[in-house]
Amino acid sequence: MDKISIFLALINLIVATGPMLSILVIHISNPIEVIVPSEVQGLSETLVSFGETLQTIELVNVTYDPDSRTITLLFSVISGLDIDLRIDSITADIVCATHGYTLGHASLMSPVTLVPHINSYLTVQSHWTYEAEQHIKGQHNGESTINVNLANIAVNVDGVVIQTSQPVTLTNIPIGSLEG
């Protein structure tokens, strides 16, 4: 075997094994980090932050316009993530919590970008149907507020759709002049 062949074989060997051996030496105290780096810890923190973001969603205001039969729900949310999250859409059925009667369909008025660690507001609107009005006049006569369930909720976050059939109950929703 001549010198060139030996030189080329050495290059093959060093290049193929050198970086891997170097990485092993760097992580000699904790070899598992070669496959599962410490940054994975950051990944789990990101997941926790995402979960915490969902938990900060809070209904802060409800208004009802009897002329247009429009109910407007204002939610606040604080994103715990370090990146902007865009809420493209939110849709849900609004159902009477007492009778299970569908009162209308709610949707996000316009897309909202959640800026990290700052309060953002989501405005969700729903138009009561004529039948909903009749239901409230008939079944909730004399009441000024009712409890409703948001059912079949679908949230589109940056293209990812989260759907849940588990209802969310909103209490003391004003029905104002609807009552008969």
Partner 1 sequence: MRAINWLGLIGGVASIALVVLSPYIPWWRLTVGEDLFVVNTSPFNFNFNFLGSSFTIPVILALNLSSILMLLISGMIMIVYSLNPSKTYSKRLLYFAYKKPMYSVILFLTGIIILTLTLNLMFNFNIPIHGDSQVSISNVAQATTIILPVKTSFYWPLWFAILTAIMCIAARIYHKNIK
**CA trace torsion 93, 146, 180, 109 (10° rounding):** -40
- Asked if 52 interacts with partner 1 (CB under 8 A), we say no
Nearer to partner 1, 84 or 131 (CB): 84
> Of 169, 103, 89, which is closest to residue 132 (Cα–Cα)?
103
Side-chain-side CA neighbours of 95 within 13 Å: the count stands at 18
Nearer to partner 1, 71 or 149 (CB): 149
Task: Single out the segment in contact with partner 1 by CB under 8 A; choices: 25-33, 68-76, 124-132, 142-150.
Answer: 25-33
Residues 109-168 that bind partner 1 (CB under 8 A): 157-166
- Helical segments of the chain, H only: 3-26, 40-55, 130-139
Q: Which residues contact 73 (CB under 8 A, 6 or more apart)?
A: 59, 61, 62, 106, 123, 124, 125, 126, 170
- Asked if 33 interacts with partner 1 (CB under 8 A), we say yes
- Asked if 30 interacts with partner 1 (CB under 8 A), we say no
Q: Which residues bind partner 1 (CB under 8 A)?
A: 2, 4-5, 8, 11-12, 15-16, 18-20, 22-23, 26-27, 33-37, 39-40, 42-43, 45-46, 49-50, 81-83, 86, 157-166
